[in-house]
Structure 1
Amino acid sequence: MKNAQSGKYRPYPKIDLPQRQWPDNTIDKAPLWCSVDLRDGNQALVTPMNLDQKLELFDLLLKLGFKHIEVGFPSASKVEFDFLRTLVERGLIPDDVTIQVLVQAREHLIDKTFEALQGVKKAIVHLYNSTSTAQRKIVFKKEQDDITALALEGVDMVKSRAASFDGEITLEYSPESFTGTEMEFAAQICNAVTARWGISAERPVIINLPATVEMATPNIYADQIEWMSRHLDNREHILISTHTHNDRGTSVAATELALLAGADRVEGTLLSNGERTGNVDIITLALNMYTQGVDPGLDFGDVNTVVDVVERCTDIETHVRHPYVGELVYTAFSGSHQDAINKGLAYQRAKSEPFWEVPYLPIDPADVGRTYESIIRINSQSGKGGVAYILEDKFGYQLPKKMHPEIGRIVQGITDVEGRELTAEEILGIFEKTYFEVPQYIEFVDMAVNSETSKSGIVTVKLTYRFEGEEITSTGQGNGPIDACRKALGEKFPHAFVLRSYSEHSCGEQSSAKAVAYIEIETEDFGAFFGVGRDNDITIAGVMAMFSALNRAYHS
């Protein structure tokens, strides 16, 4: 960065705020939310939304629970005007929803805006003008008094038209580029606006303090909000609203700190659409609150539908790592992460109280309409626990813990060669080929268990199997059918082995479930191996698992 030390940039000045209160506060309730997707979001699109797209997005905003919705800049173009008229003429604005329209302090624009509003029961007229030092010096070449006069002229025009308007009008004023405005001047112009409007309990005003450009760290914005809250006249009749952009990548943090500092209302968009790096993402803000036990007052229980609608209306793809909604945000490839998530989900299922305690998952995916199907996915970075999770979650195979390293090594060997992620079906195929389709060095044929067990618990079985081209039948006794089969094999099978572990479970729907058995053997010649068997009969499944392990050992 060749200009780093040249004086081209300088730190943002600190705000003089003795005994600031916001660092000790917590967010314990949701703000009043205002969606600006249809205005601020729409104006930033390569191809602005058409009427049908706007109507679809408006309907989504209503379903999500927004009560303030900025529907456009109706004096700016015919498309914007016609959209508002469509909402009115089709009766699409619920009685409990207030629409918001943006307008500059110019008489012909204000007249056009009120023409568009005819028939609306409740509306916010959002008046703005730029107040920052840079805008005054470079763009408008005006002094503070000139900028204040322009704002008051706009207030007078809105006030006169509101007086004869057949509906409820609330004034919102934005000192645009607030973050680049001197605090004293920002308070001065806002107080002048509210006084001219005639602020009272019956005539509250929304003062919107936008980070039109994000210029400093989030704590500076919080200081600015708290400073303004202390210096606004009639604070009890004012809703302080935020409208943050993401130029520094910290709009969410800035808005959260602003709420700590006393802001009452948040303007933003779904998925952070907006000029340059975008507006603050209301989904992220709302779900951040949700994870802290605060009801956000918006329903994001089906984020997949939200993403589908927003993408269709804006023609912007959502990043796979976008907080809470991206395709991969509930997915773990890392082996250690997979193991922790797997254990956490099991722990969550087993305990009686609902408090969410799953490592690496700050929110239950089910709460936002996501499934557990893609939480763990397998590539070359994955571990033994991830493979076991896929086999259990997708296909019902509950592998014993001791077996996880073995199947993990087998799958990882394939991912190392393939150099890509494996699907769940591919992992199942590897599992079945490894344990069910191994070449038959020794082949199980049949077995019969003597129905009479001796008083000592000894079981007798007749085992039939093929070995080296010969079908062999032999009898064995043991402390159970599997042990008896192992001893029956000892008559002619040349490789001695011992049983190290055994587990079983049912797999599938109850009416058609098969028994699945897992056996670990250790041989003098080949070492230790697991085998898996499945059958309608659990005893047969266990014996088949033993043969599976023997064949794997021989072909190792």
Structure 2
Amino acid sequence: MTTTSFPRLSTPAGPIPLQAPFWNRQRHSSMPSHRYRDVYSRVEVPQTERDWPANRLTAAPLWVPVDLRDGNQALAEPMDPARKRRFFELMVTMGYKEIEVGYPSASQTDYDFVRLIAEGGIAPDDVTVVVFTPARRDLIERTVASIQGIANPVVIHMYTATAPTWRSMVLGREPEDLKQLILAGGRDVWELAGDMPNVRFEFSPEVFNLTEPDYVIEICDAMTALWHATPERPVILNLPATVEVATPNVYADQIEYMHKNLARRDAVILSVHPHNDRGTGIACAELAVLAGAQRVEGCIFGNGERTGNVDIATLALNLHAQGVDPMIDFSDIDEIRRTVEHCNRIEVHARHPYVGDLVHTAFSGTHQDAIKKGFAEHRTRAAAEGREESEIEWRVPYLPIDPADIGRDYDAVIRVNSQSGKGGIAYLLETAFGIELPRRLQIDFARHVQQHTDTTGTEVTAADLWKVFEEAYLRADVDAGIAITSYDTAETDGDSRTRITLRIDGREHTSAHRGCGPVEALAAALEAQSIRIDVVGLHQTSVGSGADSEALTLLEHRTADGGAWSAGRDRSVLSATLSAVIAAANRIRADQTA
């Protein structure tokens, strides 16, 4: 391989001395970059000709979300069974046909979730479930036990690290010893599950991208022979960039080399699993598919160890933006985001591609003007051709896709030509009252403000904004006849008890709840009265400052029409939160009786 250096600038009189122009001087850095080796000196791909640069993406690869295993292992608080099931059901609804569901030998929670799939019938017949195991017999036995009785297609995914540093430092094995360990694991898998007709097999040489290519080929060919790979029962060879260490073209070269040199290629599904340590995991996956990969493992929004796994949503919607059907349904991306945030307990960044709150929002006046003109031209073309706007080629400036494709409305794009206006609303409330609104509440509240200004036609002051806010979010608790009249808590020998009294349509209902706090007890008491509140998030702020300040709880929850907000205000944070829950209950009840 050759290395590339930037040429010196030159003139007819010859090269410009590096020390002459200020913009060509090297800046001093105190970072110890000399401690690191470039990847070319560690793994050189014997590739002299490459086809991938001339290829084009024309179809979606096989997608395999690993949120329930790899993504779950990367969470500070791993998913409980309810969150795991909710995430699984989301992925089924989105149309994923192969889902990695867990690491059953690693935890009882994962084992039990695989058993739920086996016994609970929560997986449609056409969904393949993947289970993950190291190459160790006792763990393989536990894994095979977990899948007993599953009627769905199953993939047993076995892995072992193969890179030199991992071989010597972590596993203490010479190359041949490690190969024999892997083959022993492969034989155990075949012995225990080879006769199960619904089971296929997957092998990952972990840290593939730092392993000698010919050594990987040697092991992978031995595994496909051991597992009797055929086109009718192909073996998945998954080649992870476990720690991203090179530019994406290097990974593409590695994948193409494997693609061209593996034995039994027609009996192999070539898969990739890029991580994002360099911030180029998406590029690695796209170039790997150009280079011959047929399958991509990743997480829906890129959650994973360190800087994350590859982001499947971005990969899929990149294809959509190029006119290629991604084969996964992202038509309600906000609901997908809310569910993923709930299950992972991690917020998606506002600038995250496609899904972030701000990705379709223009703050710049020039951008706003171009977008408005683009929308106008789009509608004019549709009218001139007598076609629906959704049938017209999309070419609106600054918007690579139509926000409506993923369930976003145009208010967030055009009216905020006034997103600056939304920002101004939030600024006035913060400066006048000390209230800090979450971004999504800013968008929701701006609609109420717009209705107010459309009606009055007058300038909106901070005091006016606060009145609109009170009417929209704080007074909802008096509308539908639900109130909390009392609550008390007690704790005995570590066992907490909460008594809640509700007044609903003038009648009181008292209930006692063990092992939970007042907020959870209130939600349970309401659910007992057929009023279920699905909380998305709670945000605490305050009204005023100093000794006179009051707590303000902002509660985001689901309704039949999507998301909604309610609020509660009190001197006590707890009382404010309970008031917010009651406000939400009244809104839900009002919607039910409307």
Structure 1 distance, partners of 2:238, 2:285, is 13
Task: State the partner residue of 1:190.
Answer: 220
Structure 2 distance, partners of 1:434, 1:78, is 60
Task: State the partner residue of 1:289.
Answer: 319
Structure 2 distance, partners of 1:369, 1:230, is 41
Amino acid at match of 1:187: I
Structure 2 distance, partners of 1:320, 1:234, is 45
Structure 2 distance, partners of 1:426, 1:172, is 55
Structure 1 distance, partners of 2:93, 2:180, is 41
How has the CA–CA distance of structure 1 residues 434 and 51 changed in structure 2, closer, same or farther, with 3 Å as cutoff? closer
Amino acid at match of 2:393: F
Select 2:171's aligned residue among 127, 137, 140: 140
CA positional deviation for 1:428: 7.5
**Residue 151, structure 1, aligned to residue 182, structure 2:** yes
Amino acid at match of 2:246: A
Amino acid at match of 1:183: P
Select 1:53's aligned residue among 65, 83, 98: 83
Structure 2 distance, partners of 1:6, 1:84, is 47
Preserved CA contact (<8 Å) 1:68 1:99:
yes
CA positional deviation for 1:203: 2.8
SS of alignment partner, residue 54 of structure 1: helix
CA positional deviation for 1:257: 0.5
Select 1:171's aligned residue among 184, 201, 220: 201
**Residue 12, structure 1, aligned to residue 46, structure 2:** no
Amino acid at match of 2:58: D
Structure 2 distance, partners of 1:326, 1:18, is 41
User: C-alpha offsets along residues 166-198 of structure 1, whole Å, 9 cap, x if unaligned?
Assistant: x41111000001011011111111111111112
How has the CA–CA distance of structure 1 residues 344 and 153 changed in structure 2, closer, same or farther, with 3 Å as cutoff? same
Task: State the partner residue of 2:518.
Answer: none
Task: State the partner residue of 1:162.
Answer: 193
Preserved CA contact (<8 Å) 1:333 1:376:
no
Amino acid at match of 1:79: T
SS of alignment partner, residue 241 of structure 1: strand
CA positional deviation for 1:429: 4.0
How has the CA–CA distance of structure 1 residues 350 and 303 changed in structure 2, closer, same or farther, with 3 Å as cutoff? same
**Residue 269, structure 1, aligned to residue 294, structure 2:** no
TM-score w.r.t. length of structure 1: 0.69
Select 1:79's aligned residue among 95, 109, 112: 109
**Residue 366, structure 1, aligned to residue 396, structure 2:** no
How has the CA–CA distance of structure 1 residues 238 and 164 changed in structure 2, closer, same or farther, with 3 Å as cutoff? closer
Structure 1 distance, partners of 2:451, 2:45, is 58
Q: How does 1:221-260 map to 2 (within 5 A)?
A: 221-260=251-290
SS of alignment partner, residue 433 of structure 1: coil
How has the CA–CA distance of structure 1 residues 432 and 225 changed in structure 2, closer, same or farther, with 3 Å as cutoff? same
| RMSD between superposed Cα atoms in Å | 2.7
Preserved CA contact (<8 Å) 1:26 1:260:
yes
SS of alignment partner, residue 277 of structure 1: coil
Task: State the partner residue of 2:248.
Answer: 218
Amino acid at match of 2:230: S
Structure 1 distance, partners of 2:70, 2:173, is 26
Select 1:92's aligned residue among 95, 118, 122: 122
Preserved CA contact (<8 Å) 1:333 1:377:
no
Q: How does 1:105-120 map to 2 (within 5 A)?
A: 105-120=135-150
**Residue 35, structure 1, aligned to residue 41, structure 2:** no
Query: How many residues are paired up?
Result: 406
Preserved CA contact (<8 Å) 2:39 2:245:
no
SS of alignment partner, residue 154 of structure 2: strand
Preserved CA contact (<8 Å) 2:163 2:212:
yes
Preserved CA contact (<8 Å) 2:119 2:150:
no
User: C-alpha offsets along residues 341-396 of structure 1, whole Å, 9 cap, x if unaligned?
Assistant: 00001111111361001000001000000111111465xxxxxxx36x999xx9xx
Unmatched 5+ stretches in structure 1: 379-385, 395-409, 436-556
Unmatched 5+ stretches in structure 2: 1-28, 383-390, 437-441, 461-594
**Residue 302, structure 1, aligned to residue 332, structure 2:** yes
Preserved CA contact (<8 Å) 1:331 1:377:
no
How has the CA–CA distance of structure 1 residues 11 and 69 changed in structure 2, closer, same or farther, with 3 Å as cutoff? closer
Amino acid at match of 1:91: G
CA positional deviation for 1:2: 2.5
Preserved CA contact (<8 Å) 2:248 2:284:
yes
Preserved CA contact (<8 Å) 1:376 1:390:
no
Q: How does 1:198-209 map to 2 (within 5 A)?
A: 198-209=228-239
CA positional deviation for 1:432: 2.8
SS of alignment partner, residue 70 of structure 1: strand
User: C-alpha offsets along residues 221-250 of structure 1, whole Å, 9 cap, x if unaligned?
Assistant: 111100111110011111000101110011
CA positional deviation for 1:91: 1.0
Structure 2 distance, partners of 1:434, 1:210, is 58
CA positional deviation for 1:6: 2.9
How has the CA–CA distance of structure 1 residues 164 and 194 changed in structure 2, closer, same or farther, with 3 Å as cutoff? closer
Preserved CA contact (<8 Å) 1:187 1:228:
yes
User: C-alpha offsets along residues 419-469 of structure 1, whole Å, 9 cap, x if unaligned?
Assistant: x9994637984993379xxxxxxxxxxxxxxxxxxxxxxxxxxxxxxxxxx
CA positional deviation for 1:164: 4.1
Amino acid at match of 1:92: I
CA positional deviation for 1:11: 4.7
Amino acid at match of 1:125: I
CA positional deviation for 1:15: 2.7
Structure 2 distance, partners of 1:5, 1:246, is 20
Preserved CA contact (<8 Å) 1:245 1:279:
yes
SS of alignment partner, residue 108 of structure 1: helix
Task: State the partner residue of 1:125.
Answer: 156
SS of alignment partner, residue 375 of structure 1: helix
CA positional deviation for 1:4: 4.0
**Residue 329, structure 1, aligned to residue 329, structure 2:** no
User: C-alpha offsets along residues 298-345 of structure 1, whole Å, 9 cap, x if unaligned?
Assistant: 000000110011111110001000000000100001000000000001
CA positional deviation for 1:10: 3.0
Structure 2 distance, partners of 1:12, 1:321, is 33
Structure 1 distance, partners of 2:130, 2:308, is 20
Amino acid at match of 1:52: A
**Residue 315, structure 1, aligned to residue 345, structure 2:** yes
Structure 2 distance, partners of 1:258, 1:140, is 28
Between the aligned residues of both structures, percent identity stands at 47
Structure 2 distance, partners of 1:130, 1:101, is 17
Structure 1 distance, partners of 2:203, 2:34, is 38
Amino acid at match of 2:102: G
Structure 1 distance, partners of 2:341, 2:33, is 42
Q: How does 1:337-348 map to 2 (within 5 A)?
A: 337-348=367-378
Amino acid at match of 1:364: D
CA positional deviation for 1:88: 1.3
How has the CA–CA distance of structure 1 residues 57 and 344 changed in structure 2, closer, same or farther, with 3 Å as cutoff? same
Task: State the partner residue of 1:536.
Answer: none
Structure 2 distance, partners of 1:332, 1:427, is 22
